[in-house]
């Protein structure tokens, strides 16, 4: 039994403590303040809203672990969504078949991966700062997207797409299933695979990693490529949920993804952080906004509360560190 | 000068500490230490890393407050503890190893920047600055162009600038932390002359150095610390290098040269006419199985560049490398590692190990394929491999998941060696394996190196400390300005003769 808990501890890590604590606090506070909070409806709304932010956060996570950043995530998702939209439209719009959807999704993921690949190559070979590279990519994709759509919506998709945005399998929303699958893929990638191992090492010290015989350029290129591909998955889900694509959709999520990583215990300078705590952090953020919504406040207030939560967490972490330090000194 | 004692008595200590205790996080850093410096004396403070030297200096300069009961007498006044202000006002100066200078500013600015802003509106008085800097340098008997930016000068001269800056504050007591660590022999001689001038002018100098030859040459007395406690104070006359090492470590070491018969051993590495213009030229050498080849020479002789080229991280312009009978030309260090070359970097902190990451991860990073099964890591395989290396190399750790940075220098170096042994190398290049490793722990590292050679591994041992290669290598090459200029067999040539050639 202890072996099992020990194993769980070592695979989940101490990073889980603060998001779990926040989770408990949010559940208790809203459970008392809003009697209808602990209901199926709340969890339904969380389950449907979580995946968009969640998938984009996964896309942000890998670059952050290498000590970088991908500021182009939301526009990569938009461009990937547009790719799928155009394929569907060219195949008859509302009358497009499953084949068109599959082809469109594959192309969308390819386009997302391509955006990441280009960023990865530039970052790995020119050693330019990821913030600047991804900012440039973001501006490029935004301008390109707005030019191609003339700033409007692209809509008119076949009816079978609706279940991807709104359907459920065995009571679990489809977008949530897709998100959980992606969480698990990322978890295995980071804990059990060479690429994940190298991602952490690069985040702590890229030169020492290169001296140890790791192809650091390849790792950087792959990390940004995977990040771009994950954006595309988010873009496809967003298309199904909004039943339209518009360049700028989800733009406000960009910085929230960085904060969600940080709330999940990811080191903002790279090298440390795990997927599961980030997942719990995302659930907390979503519960918070659903709970406030339920109590009648509007979405903008929820965003403000997110900010307060982050600052509180930083202060609490500092306090916890101090306590640890003082305890160590007593002994 | 301002430094003369008011009553003229030179024998009364300038500084005297009694009953100094310091505890950090439950660890006693200083245990009941006393320490004394006479006016105008050159005093050496000796001890391994972690013996309490830096802590003691920080107590004297007021950075740390010792526990109650301490008594500090300085320049005729008693204190329970110093403060940075009283230390500075009393003329106590420290020249840290990194010098803390401003390379882009002029010599004059570096020397005099603290003293030459006037009253409101606090504008900089350049003429005054120039005068103060020139005076300080004159006092050291040195002429430098004070209007040139500091980065134009070699490290030895920058050292002088740091000393001159200390003198501007009317220093009576100057601490010098490893002042010669990055100097060549002639530069060191020059610096030691400066220290003698300083001492003659009445300034007491406390010299912290691990180069024992200098300690013996410059100081009149030596205070030895070990594990935070005072071992003793000794007059330098009558001390030898090996005696100081014994006092510092509490152990006796047996120094003898290697006598291994390698005549029947086959050649593992053959390098013919290898060149990288500007770094090294026409380097030829061979290393047999089971042989340790020492390469020594001053910093900048091209040793590390040669090693990196053998490791595939730089490409040679011309020449050939034959490894285990096969000509090789590596496109990257990954190819070199796959072919059986391992390179332990001299810069353990930023290139050798990934300090914030786990001990276990650092050990497996160069041999990840060994812990894969079907494309996924096996944590059991990793754990057992790592435990094996920890046992075999006698590494003292808490948990495998602890960060490498929590280990001592010696244990970190063992982790780095384990990382490379895990790749099953044929040729192991050790570049400065004892940099930042305590004297006591060095012997342990070389025990490992010797056992590895006995298993048939070919080893290249690079060090700028001639005794290190002399006692731990079968042959010694001397590299200077990118060329191999001498080859010696320890025992057949004396240590002094090789040192003479290298440090000339």
Over residues B66-98, the pLDDT tens digits come to: 988 889 999 888 888 888 888 888 889 888 776
Cα-based angle B36, B40, B44 (whole degrees, multiple of 5): 50
Task: Please tell me if residue B365 touches chain A, with a CB cutoff of 8 Å.
Answer: yes
Q: Confidence class of residue A142 from pLDDT cuts 50, 70 and 90?
A: very high
Minimal CA separation from A212 to chain B, in Å: 5
Residues B150, B158 contacting (CB under 8 angstroms) = yes
* Residue B296: strand pairing partners: B478
CB atoms B377 and A191 under 8 Å: yes
Q: What percent of chain A shows pLDDT beyond 90?
A: 54
The mean pLDDT of B315-330, rounded to a whole number, is 95
What secondary structure letter does DSSP report for B369?
Answer: G
The mean pLDDT of A295-315, rounded to a whole number, is 81
Q: How far apart are CA A277 and CA A261, in angstroms?
A: 9
Task: Please tell me if residue B135 touches chain A, with a CB cutoff of 8 Å.
Answer: no
pLDDT of A38 over the 90 cut = no
Task: Please tell me if residue B403 touches chain A, with a CB cutoff of 8 Å.
Answer: no
Q: Which of A17, A79, A53, A128 is nearest to A235 (CA)?
A: A79
Q: What is the pLDDT of residue B9?
A: 44
For A67, B351, B368, the CA distances from A221, given in Å and listed in that order, are: 14, 22, 20
Residues A154, A258 contacting (CB under 8 angstroms) = no
Q: What is the pLDDT of residue B455?
A: 93
**What residues of B are in contact with residue A191 (Cβ under 8 Å)?**
377
Q: What is the pLDDT of residues B156-193, one digit of tens each?
A: 788 888 888 887 877 889 998 877 766 666 777 888 88
Among the partner residues A194, A207, A208, nearest to B368 by beta-carbon distance = A194
* Residue B73: strand pairing partners: B16, B78
The mean pLDDT of A164-169, rounded to a whole number, is 84
pLDDT of A37 over the 90 cut = no
For A203, A272, B475, the CA distances from B481, given in Å and listed in that order, are: 37, 43, 20
Q: What is the pLDDT of residue B412?
A: 92
* 3-state SS assignment for residue A262: helix
Q: What is the pLDDT of residue A1?
A: 41
The mean pLDDT of A33-53, rounded to a whole number, is 81
Average pLDDT value over all residues in chain B? 87
pLDDT of B5 over the 70 cut = no
Q: What is the pLDDT of residue B287?
A: 96
Average pLDDT value over all residues in chain A? 88
Count Cβ atoms below 10 Å from residue A175 Cβ, excluding itself: 28
Q: Confidence class of residue A321 from pLDDT cuts 50, 70 and 90?
A: confident
Structure tokens at A45: 């709304």
> Is pLDDT larger for residue B503 or for residue B120?
B503
pLDDT of B438 over the 80 cut = no
Q: Which domains does chain B possess?
A: 15-91+170-249 (3.40.50.300), 281-503 (3.40.50.300)
User: Range with the lowest mean pLDDT among A127-141, A316-330, B40-54, B167-181?
Assistant: A316-330
Structure tokens at B153: 């000068």
**What residues of A are in contact with residue B352 (Cβ under 8 Å)?**
208, 211
Sheet holding B318-323, edge to edge: B280-288, B267-276, B318-323, B326-328
CB atoms A208 and B354 under 8 Å: yes
Q: What is the pLDDT of residues B281-301, one digit of tens each?
A: 999 999 999 999 999 988 778
Q: How far apart are CA B472 and CA B65, in angstroms?
A: 43
Residue of A nearest to B311 (CA): A211
Please give the model's pTM, rounded to 2 decimal places. 0.80
Q: What is the pLDDT of residue B69?
A: 87
Q: What is the pLDDT of residue B8?
A: 42
Task: Please tell me if residue B26 touches chain A, with a CB cutoff of 8 Å.
Answer: yes
Minimal CA separation from B332 to chain A, in Å: 8
* 3-state SS assignment for residue B39: coil
> Is pLDDT larger for residue A78 or for residue A171?
A78
CB atoms B376 and A331 under 8 Å: no
Q: What is the pLDDT of residues B18-44, one digit of tens each?
A: 999 988 777 788 999 999 999 989 999
Q: What is the pLDDT of residue B4?
A: 41
**What residues of B are in contact with residue A209 (Cβ under 8 Å)?**
354, 365
Q: Please confirm whether the linkage preceding B121 is cis (ω < 30° from 0).
A: yes
Q: Which of B406, B452, B414, B454 is nearest to B433 (CA)?
A: B414
Residues B268, B288 contacting (CB under 8 angstroms) = yes
CB atoms B337 and A200 under 8 Å: no
């Amino acid at each position: 039994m202890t072996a099992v808990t020990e194993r769980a501890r070592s695979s989940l890590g101490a990073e889980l403590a603060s998001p779990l604590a926040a989770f408990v606090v949010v559940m208790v506070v809203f459970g008392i303040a809003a009697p209808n909070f602990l209901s199926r409806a709340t969890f339904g709304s969380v389950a449907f809203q979580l995946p968009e932010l969640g998938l984009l956060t996964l896309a942000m996570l890998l670059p952050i672990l290498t000590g970088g950043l991908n500021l182009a995530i939301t526009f990569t998702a938009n461009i990937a969504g547009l790719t799928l939209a155009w394929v569907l439209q060219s195949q008859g719009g509302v009358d497009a078949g499953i084949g068109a959807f599959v082809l469109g999704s594959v192309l969308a993921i390819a386009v997302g991966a391509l955006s990441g690949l280009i960023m990865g190559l530039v970052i790995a070979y020119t050693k330019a700062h990821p913030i600047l590279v991804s900012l440039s990519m973001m501006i490029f994709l935004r301008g390109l997207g707005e030019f191609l759509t003339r700033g409007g919506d692209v809509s008119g998709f076949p009816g079978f797409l609706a279940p991807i945005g709104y359907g459920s399998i065995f009571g679990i929303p489809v977008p949530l299933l897709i998100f959980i699958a992606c969480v698990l893929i990322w978890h295995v990638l980071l804990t059990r695979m060479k690429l994940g191992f190298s991602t952490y090492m690069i985040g702590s010290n890229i030169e020492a990693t290169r001296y140890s015989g790791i192809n650091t350029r390849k790792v950087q290129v792959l990390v940004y490529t995977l990040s771009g591909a994950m954006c595309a998955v988010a873009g496809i889900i967003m298309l199904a949920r909004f039943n339209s694509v518009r360049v700028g959709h989800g733009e406000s999520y960009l910085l929230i993804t960085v904060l969600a990583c940080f709330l999940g215990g990811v080191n903002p300078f790279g090298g440390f952080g795990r997927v599961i705590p980030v997942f719990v952090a995302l659930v907390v953020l979503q519960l918070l906004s659903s709970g406030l919504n339920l109590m009648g406040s509007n979405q903008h207030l929820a965003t403000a509360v997110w900010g307060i939560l982050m600052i509180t967490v930083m202060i609490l972490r500092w306090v916890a560190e101090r306590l640890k330090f003082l305890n160590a000194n007593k002994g | 000068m301002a430094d003369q004692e008011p009553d003229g008595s030179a024998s009364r200590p300038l500084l005297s500490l009694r009953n100094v205790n310091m505890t950090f996080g439950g660890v006693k850093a200083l245990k009941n230490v006393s320490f004394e410096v006479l006016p105008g004396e050159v005093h050496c403070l000796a001890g391994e890393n972690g013996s309490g030297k830096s802590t003691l200096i920080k107590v004297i300069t007021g950075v740390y407050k010792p526990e109650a009961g301490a008594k500090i007498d300085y320049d005729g006044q008693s204190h329970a503890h110093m403060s940075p202000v009283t230390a500075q006002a009393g003329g106590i100066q420290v020249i840290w190893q990194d010098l803390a200078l401003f390379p882009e500013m002029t010599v004059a600015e570096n020397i005099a920047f603290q003293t030459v802003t006037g009253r409101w509106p606090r504008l900089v008085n350049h003429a005054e600055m120039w005068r103060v800097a020139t005076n300080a340098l004159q006092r050291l008997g040195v002429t430098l162009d004070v209007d040139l930016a500091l980065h134009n000068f070699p490290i030895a001269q920058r050292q002088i600038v740091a000393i001159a800056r200390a003198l501007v504050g009317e220093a009576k007591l100057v601490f010098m932390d490893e002042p010669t660590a990055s100097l060549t022999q002639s530069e060191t001689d020059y610096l030691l002359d400066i220290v003698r001038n300083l001492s003659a002018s009445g300034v007491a100098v406390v010299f912290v150095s691990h180069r024992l030859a200098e300690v013996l040459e410059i100081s009149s007395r030596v205070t030895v610390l070990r594990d935070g406690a005072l071992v003793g104070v000794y007059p330098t006359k009558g001390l030898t290098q090996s005696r100081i090492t014994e006092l510092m470590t509490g152990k006796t070491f047996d120094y003898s040269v290697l006598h291994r018969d390698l005549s029947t051993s086959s050649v593992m590495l053959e390098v013919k006419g290898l060149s990288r213009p500007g770094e090294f030229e026409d380097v030829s050498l061979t290393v047999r199985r089971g042989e340790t080849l020492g390469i020594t020479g001053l910093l900048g002789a091209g040793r590390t560049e040669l090693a990196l080229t053998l490791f595939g991280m730089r490409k040679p312009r011309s020449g050939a490398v034959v490894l285990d009978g096969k000509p090789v030309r590596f496109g990257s260090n990954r190819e070199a590692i796959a072919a059986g070359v391992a390179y332990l970097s001299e810069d353990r902190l930023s290139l050798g190990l990934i300090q914030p990451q786990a001990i276990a991860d650092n050990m497996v990073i160069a041999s990840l394929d060994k812990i894969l099964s079907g494309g996924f890591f096996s944590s059991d395989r990793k754990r057992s491999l790592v435990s094996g290396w920890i046992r075999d190399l006698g590494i003292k750790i808490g948990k495998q998941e602890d960060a490498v940075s929590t280990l001592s220098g010696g244990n970190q170096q063992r982790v780095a060696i384990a990382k490379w042994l895990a790749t099953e190398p044929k040729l192991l290049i050790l570049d400065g394996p004892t940099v930042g490793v305590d004297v006591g722990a060095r012997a342990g590292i070389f025990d490992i190196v010797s056992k590895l050679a006995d298993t048939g591994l070919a080893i290249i041992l690079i060090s700028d400390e001639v005794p290190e290669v002399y006692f731990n290598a079968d042959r010694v090459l001397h590299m200077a300005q990118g060329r191999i200029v001498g080859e010696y067999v320890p025992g057949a040539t004396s240590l002094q003769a090789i040192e003479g050639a290298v440090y000339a």
